[in-house]
């Protein structure tokens, strides 16, 4: 049994992870500043799946999860919970997770980097000062790498220039202010590992989709599900569109390729990292994904499963609001988690059938906010609106 502190336990992944670890007998505590709920409201949207308050969730789960409301950028709060709980592992999920949200305007870009970078910096100092043997499990993103024209390595790579060689972490090419905040996190983690000897796992996670994990046995235990253009990931947004007879809208030609994994497998991978920590003082990188798909391939898969579920939908490619390569090489090394036992739980089609079953109950909520599906965040600086 390990003592695990989850920063950001009210989130899409955080709530599922908290229940999963608690069910496996770990001692779990978590906190959240509830900004995800606030930020989704700020863009005029809601969670398609109704979710109770965190206090109600914890009480209903009845699985020994300790919860407090708090903010990782508040060092007095954070250091207090770390001193009291004395975790073996801290899982840092307490970050603003949306690239489009970070690109809306100066205010949201500033907020994203302030919240993400400074919150994670506080976590590093809390570990160093109060639990130096603690394992930091930090959720990053595959988007830190961009789309290089070479295979993305998990291990450090050797660079040769001007007749000399150096070993470095795989180069980063962030595509938004959100992704840049994650790269800054990685820089700070590497520094803390090098100068303080902290034990760190830096998780480069692909795009996550799905509505439930095995612990979500009741609708009251389901996690949030976002479908708007800021917080809804490609597969999640496509399924929500199909449910309300809204065309599926890949950006551009749909050739953008990324790594994907289901929510249940994101939780599985993070659990494997918790239960198999690095050596003391080790820094390691996990590239966390199951398979790679282009956006158009995903739209076709969703259309096919929708038809199986009695729903006819069409695919309408629209102008890409982002500045990114439409067609590119994309190959990722992702062996370390598989060496620890990771296996994809269900096929993507089986996962999509479950998603349609869950979201079919939420059609009215999605329809009431259908205007937030179309892009309003443009990387080239077009004017758009935000509630706050």
Do residues 137 and 340 touch, judged by C-beta distance below 8 A? Answer: no
**Model pLDDT, residue 388:** 36
CATH superfamily entry for domain 3-372: NAD(P)-binding Rossmann-like Domain (3.40.50.720)
316, 318, 323, 326 alpha-carbon torsion, rounded to 10°: 40
Which one, of 177, 158, 175, lies nearest residue 167 by Cα? 158
Active site residue 141: yes
Model confidence, pTM: 0.96
Give the separation between CA 95 and CA 217, rounded to whole angstroms.
27
75-85 and 119-130 helices, crossing angle to 10°: 40
- Write out the H or E segment, with its range, that includes residue 209: strand 207-209
**Model pLDDT, residue 63:** 77
Do residues 182 and 189 touch, judged by C-beta distance below 8 A? Answer: no
The residue annotated as part of the active site, out of 141, 211, 223, 257, is 141
177-196 and 106-113 helices, crossing angle to 10°: 20
Q: Which long-range contacts (CB under 8 A, 24 or more apart) does 297-304 make?
A: 297/254, 298/234, 298/235, 298/238, 298/250, 298/260, 299/238, 299/248, 299/250, 299/254, 301/348, 301/349, 301/352, 302/235, 302/238, 302/239, 302/242, 302/248, 302/352, 303/242, 303/248, 304/349
The residue annotated as part of the active site, out of 67, 182, 283, 345, is 182
Tell me: pLDDT of 383 over 90: no
Residue for token pair 């709980």: 85
Active site residue 60: no
The residue annotated as part of the active site, out of 12, 111, 145, 178, is 178
Q: DSSP code of 77?
A: H
Mean of all residue pLDDT scores within the chain: 96
Summarised one tens digit per residue, pLDDT across range 370-380 is 999 999 889 98
**Model pLDDT, residue 210:** 98
353, 355, 359, 361 alpha-carbon torsion, rounded to 10°: 60
Exposure of 55 in the CB half-sphere (CA atoms within 13 A): 2
Give the DSSP per-residue string, 36-48: HHHHHHHTT---S
Q: How far apart are the first and last CA of the chain?
A: 43
- What residue segments make up the domains of the chain, in order of their start? 3-372
**Model pLDDT, residue 385:** 43
Section 184-200 average pLDDT: 98
Active site residue 246: no
**Model pLDDT, residue 61:** 95
**Model pLDDT, residue 386:** 40
Q: Buried b vs exposed e over 274-293: b needs ≥16 C-beta within 10 Å?
A: beebbeeeebbbbbbbbebb
Pull the structure tokens for residue 45: 């949207």
Section 332-343 average pLDDT: 98
**Model pLDDT, residue 154:** 97
Section 241-264 average pLDDT: 97
**Model pLDDT, residue 102:** 98
**Model pLDDT, residue 387:** 38
**Model pLDDT, residue 173:** 97
Tell me: pLDDT of 384 over 70: no
Give Cα separations from 134 to 5, 122, 200, 201, 276 (angstroms): 10, 14, 9, 11, 13
User: What number of residues does the chain have?
Assistant: 388
Give the separation between CA 28 and CA 273, rounded to whole angstroms.
15
**Model pLDDT, residue 62:** 82
Partners of residue 157 on adjacent β-strands: 168
């Amino acid at each position: 049994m390990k003592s695990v502190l989850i920063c950001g336990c009210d989130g899409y992944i955080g709530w599922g992870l908290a229940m999963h670890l608690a069910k496996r007998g770990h001692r779990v505590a978590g906190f959240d500043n509830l900004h995800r709920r606030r930020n989704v409201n700020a863009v005029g949207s809601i969670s398609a799946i109704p979710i109770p308050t965190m206090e109600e969730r914890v009480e209903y789960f009845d699985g020994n999860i300790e919860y407090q409301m708090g903010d990782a950028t508040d060092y007095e709060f954070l250091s207090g919970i770390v001193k009291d709980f004395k975790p073996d592992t801290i899982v840092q999920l307490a970050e603003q997770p949306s690239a489009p949200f970070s690109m809306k305007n100066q205010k949201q870009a500033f907020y994203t980097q302030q919240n993400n970078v400074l919150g994670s910096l506080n976590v590093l100092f809390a570990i160093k000062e109060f639990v130096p043997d603690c394992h930091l499990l930090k959720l990053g993103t595959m988007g830190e790498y961009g789309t290089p024209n070479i295979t993305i390595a998990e291990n450090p790579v050797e660079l040769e220039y001007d007749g000399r060689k150096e070993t470095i972490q795989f180069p980063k090419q962030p595509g938004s202010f959100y992704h840049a905040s994650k790269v800054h996190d990685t820089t700070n983690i590497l520094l803390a590992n090098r100068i303080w000897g902290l034990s760190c796992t830096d998780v480069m996670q692909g795009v996550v989709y799905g509505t439930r994990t095995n612990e979500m046995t009741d609708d009251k235990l389901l996690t949030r599900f976002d479908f708007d253009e800021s917080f809804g990931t490609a597969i999640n947004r496509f399924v929500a569109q199909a449910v309300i007879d809204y065309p599926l809208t890949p950006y551009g030609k749909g050739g953008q390729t990324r790594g994907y994994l289901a929510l249940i497998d994101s939780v599985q991978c993070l659990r494997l990292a918790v239960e198999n920590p690095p050596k003391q003082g080790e820094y390691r990188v996990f590239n966390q994904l199951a398979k790679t798909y282009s956006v158009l391939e995903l739209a076709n898969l969703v259309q096919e499963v929708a038809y199986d579920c009695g729903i006819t939908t069409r695919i309408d490619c629209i102008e890409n609001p982002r500045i990114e390569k439409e067609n590119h090489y994309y190959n990722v090394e992702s062996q370390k988690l598989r060496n620890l036992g990771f296996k994809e739980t269900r096929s993507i089609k089986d996962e999509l059938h479950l998603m349609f079953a869950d979201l079919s109950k939420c059609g009215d909520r999605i329809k009431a906010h259908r205007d937030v599906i179309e892009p309003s965040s443009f990387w080239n600086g077009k004017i758009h609106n935000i509630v706050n």
